[in-house]
Amino acid sequence: MTEATAVDLDFGDDGLIPAVAQDADSGEVLMLAYVSREAFERTRETGRAHYYSRSRDELWEKGATSGNVQTVEEVRVDCDGDSLLYVVDQEGGACHTGYESCFHRTADGEVVGERVFDPDEAYE
């Protein structure tokens, strides 16, 4: 990964841009989070996914606490420059609730995903 960006990104009025994380092998959508300019730069520098937590108001590296890191294979930008796609190699589960993907239930509440770790153990 390089530090330079060849396209203009629109971080909007709040300084954040949505980023979808997609599993590089399966193509499954793992999660959606927000990225600040600093998180984007850290991702590009380190090759590991960094995001911005709106609830905690801080930068965070995916998996720094749980060990379920995302190694970023490629960053794609949508046509308007206001959304990102992180194509990642996911270690463990992407969801902080222990599931492989944050999109592990239907709108009717049916669980369709697989729990791959115990969040109580991961976030002690």
SS3 track for 6-75: CCCCCCCCCCEEEEEEEECCCCCEEEEEEEEHHHHHHHHHHCECEEEECCCCEEEECCCCCCCCEEEEEE
pLDDT (0 to 100) of residue 124: 77
pLDDT (0 to 100) of residue 6: 80
pLDDT (0 to 100) of residue 5: 63
Please report the domains of the chain, with CATH numbers, ordered by start residue. Answer: 16-122 (3.10.20.810)
Averaged pLDDT in 10-residue chunks for the chain of 124 residues: 71 97 98 98 98 95 95 97 98 95 97 93 85
Q: Residue 88: which H helix or E strand, with range?
A: strand 84-90
pLDDT (0 to 100) of residue 33: 98
pLDDT (0 to 100) of residue 1: 46
User: d(Cα 39, Cα 68) in Å, to the nearest integer?
Assistant: 18
